[in-house]
Amino acid sequence: MDRKTVLCGIVAGAMLCISAASALAEDVVIKVWSRADRSGPLRAGNLVTAGDTLNKMLAAAGSDKRVKIDLNETNAKGYDDDALDLLKAFAVDKGPDIFVLAHEWTGAFVEAGYALNLEDHIGKNPEFYGDIIVPLWQSVSYKGARYGVPQDSEVRMYFLNNDKLRKLGKTDKDIAALPGKVDAGEFTAYDLCDLAGQAVQKGVVKYGILHRPNAGPDFQMLMESFGVVPYDKEAAKLQASKAALKDFFTWVKYCLDKKALSATNTTMSWDAIEQASFAREEALVLFHGVWRVTDQTKAWNLKGKDDYQRKITWINAPAGKKGGKPTNLSHPIAYAVSAKSKNKDLAAYIIALASQPIPNMRHAVTTNHTPINYGGQSMPEVVEKGWALVAATPMLKYASFMPNHPKIGQYNGIIFKGIQGVETGRLTAQAAADFVVDELSNELGKDVVIKN
């Protein structure tokens, strides 16, 4: 046989093989969009595992079909930026089948027509969804229907560095009594700033309180102590009260003047804040959430609950006035299916598999988020390795969710800018309140109700 014939034969054979292989392995591709988050790699990872599980079942059933999970993990700075990018991607038909989102964006995606109504699917599959903690469903509901599946939840708090408190002269008894005082309303937000300011002025620490450097759920919890409630249930609109905002910003200014809050907080990078709070112990208080326990344990080489609690104290966000109630916030992340997907049911079932107790527990325990299933809370691993989650659960008593209004993202952004304005010294408390009200009516127009 001459060369040409051999070549033709090889090519034909190869093409036959390829077409046979592709005929055999009909891959269904499910695209997943997730934000690359160091505190949650398994959010996307569990979906990949779910795909593998499904493939095992398909193989066992003798089917030739396989599911391929195609991950796109973006580098957005926060969930808000990521949601905007995702909306843009959807608008140009580059949207995924499954996406991971912060729950308060549910409304925005539903209004844009990109989130699939999952009521039917959830209702028909109690075997998968029946054990999910009931209040969590509220976080993925919009106008009475469920559009997502909660992926995790957490508790947010202030982390106080006990070593620094001791240096300040507090006894162990004082420190242990603090959480109780906060819950009883005796230790207010102003007292916290006094304490933090004292620590800075005495040179014990460089930063009093460190908070997140971008917009986020934390601030809602902070503002609630001062009566700023973002959502008006009756009107089904966002709202802002001028007086409450002024109270809140007055407190921020007070803390800034006492040096409890620092002017550079809003422009620091996440990394700088972590370095300052953990490795270098330059801050008295970090305001964030329970999943930080992982980082803290690693940074200080803490072994177990007792070691940790000797080093760190948790408190809820203290009330604004004496006798008030402390506040807390829970911010679930959710899975959602794209309404434009060509494989809606398959995508939904992938999510169902990813939400099972074992995968969910893996995420919960390794990154210190609370499990979404009732059963998950009593799993041996959770009880043993997730002591932080168990310890944090009582704080959920004061917790609320953010509203799922479509424009909550912009609302949060404006609040953050106001805080930045006060902290950097550009705005007085009154000016900040005016600024927020201005921007809200500017950007949200009729979607916000401004109260006096």
Partner 1 sequence: MATEHAIAGGAPAARTDWQALARRTWRTRFTGQSALFAFLVVVSVPIILPYFWMVVIAFTARTGGVGSDVLWTACAVIVPAVLVYSLVHMSVAAKGLRLASGLILLAIAGTLLVALVGERLHLNNFRFLWRADFVEELRSKATSGAQFPSVWTAFFNSLALALSQTVIILTVASLAGYYISRFAFRGRNAFLQGLLVLHAFPAMTLIIPIFLMLYWIHLLDTIIGVMLVLAAIELPFYVFVMKGFFDGVPWDIEMSAMTDGATRRQAFRLIVLPQVRVGLIAVAVFAFIRAWEEYIFVRTFLIENTNWVMSLYLFWVADDVMGVDYGIVAAVAVFYVLPSLLLYVFCQKYLTQMTIGGIKG
Partner 2 sequence: MSRSPSRGANHEFAMPDFARAQLRRQRINFALFLGPALVLLAVFFVAPVIIDLVLAFTDMGRTLAVGKFTLENFERMVTRDTRLLGALGITFIFVVTTLGVFNVTFALLLALVTTAVPQRLGAFFRAVWLLPRMSPSVVYALLWLWVVDPNERGLLNQIVVHVFDMPPIDLRNNHPLLVIILANGFIGASLGMLIFTSAIRSIPEHLFHAARVDGAGSLAIVRHVTLPALRWPISYMTIHQSLSLLVSFEYILLITAGGPFYDTTVFSLYAYRRAFESGEYAYGAALSLILVVIGVVAALALWRLMDMKRLLQPPRIEVH
Residues that bind partner 1 (CB under 8 A): 34, 36-38, 41-42, 44-45, 48, 71-75, 77, 85, 88-89, 92, 94, 269, 271-272, 275, 279
Closest approach, Cβ 370 to partner 2, in A, equals 31
Closest approach, Cβ 368 to partner 1, in A, equals 12
Q: Please count the residues of this chain forming the interface with partner 2, following the rule CB under 8 A.
A: 26
Of positions 74, 117, 141, 424, contacts partner 2 by CB under 8 A: 424
Of positions 267, 310, 322, 394, contacts partner 2 by CB under 8 A: 267
Distance (Å, rounded) from C-alpha 402 to C-alpha 297? 29
Instruction: Give which of partner 2, partner 1, none residue 408 binds (C-beta under 5 to 8 Å, depending on kind).
Output: none
Closest approach, Cβ 30 to partner 1, in A, equals 14
- Assess 177 for contact with partner 2 (CB under 8 A): no
Instruction: Give which of partner 1, partner 2, none residue 127 binds (C-beta under 5 to 8 Å, depending on kind).
Output: none
Beta bridge partners of 286: 159, 210
- Assess 339 for contact with partner 2 (CB under 8 A): no
- Assess 201 for contact with partner 2 (CB under 8 A): no
Closest approach, Cβ 319 to partner 1, in A, equals 35
Instruction: From 299, 307, 330, 333, select the one nearest 317 (Cα to Cα).
Output: 330
| Closer to partner 2 by Cβ: residue 273 or 350 | 273
Find the distance separating the first CA and the last CA of the chain, reported in whole Å. 93
| Closer to partner 2 by Cβ: residue 43 or 211 | 211
User: Residue 245: left (phi > 0), alpha (psi -120 to 50), or beta?
Assistant: alpha
Q: Which of residues 361-420 bind partner 2 (CB under 8 A)?
A: 410, 413, 417, 420
Instruction: From 156, 293, 150, 321, select the one nearest 227 (Cα to Cα).
Output: 321
Distance (Å, rounded) from C-alpha 431 to C-alpha 237? 24
| 290 in Cβ contact with 359 (< 8 Å) | no
| Closer to partner 2 by Cβ: residue 309 or 428 | 428
Instruction: From 185, 325, 190, 191, select the one nearest 247 (Cα to Cα).
Output: 190
Q: Strands, E, within 49-122: which ranges?
A: 66-74, 98-102
Distance (Å, rounded) from C-alpha 47 to C-alpha 354? 5
| Closer to partner 1 by Cβ: residue 354 or 437 | 354
Task: Tell how far CA 248 is from the center of its chain.
Answer: 23
Please, where are the H alpha helices in 169-217?
Answer: 172-184, 189-201
Of positions 266, 316, 338, 368, contacts partner 2 by CB under 8 A: 266
| Closer to partner 2 by Cβ: residue 18 or 279 | 279
| Closer to partner 2 by Cβ: residue 221 or 427 | 427
Residues in the chain: 452
Distance (Å, rounded) from C-alpha 157 to C-alpha 402? 16
- Assess 426 for contact with partner 2 (CB under 8 A): yes
Instruction: Give which of partner 2, partner 1, none residue 72 binds (C-beta under 5 to 8 Å, depending on kind).
Output: partner 1
Token representation of residue 107:
């409304």
Instruction: Give which of partner 1, partner 2, none residue 297 binds (C-beta under 5 to 8 Å, depending on kind).
Output: none
DSSP 329-367: E---EEEEEBTT-S-HHHHHHHHHHHTSHHHHHHHHHHH
Instruction: From 441, 436, 188, 450, select the one nearest 323 (Cα to Cα).
Output: 188
Of positions 38, 56, 68, 88, contacts partner 2 by CB under 8 A: 88
Instruction: Give which of partner 2, partner 1, none residue 45 binds (C-beta under 5 to 8 Å, depending on kind).
Output: partner 1
Closest approach, Cβ 71 to partner 1, in A, equals 5
Binding residues vs partner 2 (CB under 8 A): 84, 87-88, 90-92, 108, 112-113, 263-264, 266-267, 410, 413, 417, 420-421, 424, 426-427, 435, 438, 441-443
